[in-house]
Structure 1
Amino acid sequence: MTNRNTEVSLRKGNINDADAVLELQKEVLSESEFMISVIEEYEETSEQIRNWIEKILENEREKLIVAESKGKIVGLIVFRSNRAKRVSHTGSFTAMVKNDYRNQGIGKLLIKELLNWAEQNPLIEKVSLGVLSTNQRAIGLYKSMGFIEEGRKIKEVKFRDDLYVDDILMYKLV
């Protein structure tokens, strides 16, 4: 599919994507002010990412979708379900897009693809996410896609002694 000025294709992630996923995660963590983790504390290895992807692929309640441009992974979305039986119909997602590919609608494509999968999956009824209150662009995107704020974790993220940010919890029933 063509997305604005970028040719992008979406596909199910697989264990062969481990190195590219690791690279993407490191790049996004090192450049984004909207992530909770920072690059200095990220210690994942290719083997750990491979195992993580394998666990996702084995679980029918979980999904990894990658966005590719020119044969390279430029974004991803991962949906992880809750393990406890009484909340196993729910889960949350995390999305990442490389800096050079942001603001081109790739995140929206990934979310649409995830929601389509969730709507077709009889085991999933609720898709959730957390977003920092300072990430107004993402909040606008989520609201435009039907996500509703269900709560806030006040002063959940501390950037420095005088700067705290709320974590906004959002959901969509599918």
Structure 2
Amino acid sequence: MMRNVNLKNNLNVNIRKVTTDDAQNMIDFYNVVGGESDFLSFGANEFKRDLLEYKDYITTTSKELNSIMLIAEIDSKIIGIATINSSQKERTKHVGTLGIVVSETYTGLGLGKVLMNELLEWARLNGITKKISLVTNENNAKAIELYKKLGFEEEGLLKLDNYIKGTYQNTVVMGLLL
């Protein structure tokens, strides 16, 4: 699966499924963007993953019919990662947990929305997923606005479950029934 999309500013972006060859670049990317945003669950250089373990994780995830990992790249450089991870347990395999990270340099160009739509379209067609869940910092207004536009509803608030730059902050839990 590979798609080319044009973002604002006429940037041409490749969106494709992750392979094990991407593992190190993904780890590096997460460690950089962790320092760019206060809205992720980790900070700069806090995405500590062993390369071989992460390659195994990619291999396992790619075999799951209800999980997907996508990369957005320009000239083979990762600028975004979009995932839906799902349990393989019978009772909860219909729920996918969505995560999207876009490099700060490329925010505001519509990439988040493109990646969201890719994931949601895939989820609607995979024959298993019936619900998408996500969590985000309650101060992440742009993301919450996008999620609501796409049909997500707020399902709950996790109080003071994040500690960012000296303050405790709340996390919003959101869901979309497909």
> Same fold by TM-score, threshold 0.5 exceeded?
yes
Partner Cα separation in structure 2 for residue 98 and residue 47 of structure 1: 24
Within 5 Å, which residues of 2 pair with 1:9-158? 9-158=14-163
Q: CA deviation at 1:53?
A: 0.9
Indicate the larger mover: 113-122 or 11-20.
11-20
Look up the SS of the partner of 2:31 in the other structure: helix
Partner Cα separation in structure 1 for residue 151 and residue 96 of structure 2: 16
CA 1:71–1:41: 2 relative to 1, 3 Å? closer
Count how many residue pairs are aligned between Structure 1 and Structure 2. 173
Letter paired with 2:69: L
5+ residue gaps, structure 2, are none
5+ residue gaps, structure 1, are none
RMSD, aligned α-carbons: 1.4
Q: CA deviation at 1:46?
A: 2.5
TM-score w.r.t. the length of structure 2 is 0.91
Partner Cα separation in structure 1 for residue 46 and residue 81 of structure 2: 21
Letter paired with 1:62: S
Partner Cα separation in structure 2 for residue 8 and residue 40 of structure 1: 26
Partner Cα separation in structure 2 for residue 33 and residue 87 of structure 1: 30
Asked if the contact 1:77/1:95 (under 8 Å) is kept, the reply is yes
Higher relative helix content: 1
> Which residue of 2, 6, 12 maps to 1:7?
12
TM-score w.r.t. the length of structure 1 is 0.93
Look up the SS of the partner of 1:100 in the other structure: helix
